[in-house]
Amino acid sequence: MVSLKTLEDYLRSKDNSKNFTNCSEVPPICKSEPCMLGVDEAGRGPVLGPMVYGVAFCPLSQKAVLQSLGCADSKALTEDKRDEIFTKMLTESEPVQNVGWSAEIISPNYISNSMYRRAKHSLNEVSMNSAISLIKKVIEEGVNLAEIYVDTVGPPEKYEAKLSEIFPNIKITVAKKADSIYPIVSAASIVAKVTRDHALKVWSFKEGFDMDHTGFGSGYPGDPLTKKFIRDQVDNVFGYPLLVRFSWSTAELMLQEKAAACTFEDIEEVSPNKKAAGTKSISTFFSPKEDKRLRKRHKFFEERYLNVTNAFE
């Protein structure tokens, strides 16, 4: 991957209703020298589009590379500036030789289904699982991780304890607003934000809408274009296209107002200690049956006048 165009081509080639990952080559130096890794996300709050988790890693000895890239609080950077930094990560020799990265694109469809399924899977759990899987993948690729820095979801102490249990030999730091404190987290944040921005720009509607990203905006509920999209694009029967996180209250309220009412019959769950009607216990198949019918003696015994007896009685 050598440019934002190749990033867009890659995103365009993927099924946007499913999760997928995108990653750089691992710089050889990251396999030999102790490295630090940062974790951050983009798109946690929007009602439209994917959430993207990003990680970036580089040797502890190469912190200056991150500073020369301009990795700072990504929220304070403009979209153009983030694109510029990410392009440098893809093309300039020093970053390419020292900084690796990976991103997971988590589809809005997956997010909504996770939050609606019978055993609910919260957004925090989706986020933590994504971060953990990305870290594991980096380790599997041979990166010599010594330190991990994470922008928290939920209480930092609990998240840090969980990660420390999974990765006991790595120093873990979980903090609020970590992207404004640690340049490596800022780099991860830039990876995530640029990936999400361009995923929206190349979004293809499976439902056949002839619309590009200028028709639905940033995806945040406060965006006027996003509000208009949510208000106008409700199908009376099928609801929203896959771009929409239909589990978000913004979408739920509009569905209740404009879509056809739908009632689902509750399925009665059988308690583990309660048998459904007509169900036999498995133990009955192994219990001796009481058969009071007299068994007919075999012809062999009858012809020879043989009887069953006990010599010790």
* Annotation: binding site for a divalent metal cation: 40-41, 151
Place of tokens 């879509």: 259
* Virtual torsion, Cα 167, 171, 177, 182, nearest 10 deg: -130
Residues 6+ apart with CB under 8 A from 111: 50, 51, 123, 126, 245, 247
Whole-number Cα distances in Å, 299 to 116, 296, 303, 307: 69, 9, 6, 12
Cα–Cα distance for residue pair 148/300, rounded to 1 Å: 83
Specify binding-site residues.
Answer: 40-41, 151
Query: Comparing C-alpha atoms, which of 109, 92, 104, 77 is closest to residue 27?
Result: 92
The alpha carbon of 301 is separated from its chain's Cα centroid by a whole number of angstroms, namely: 73
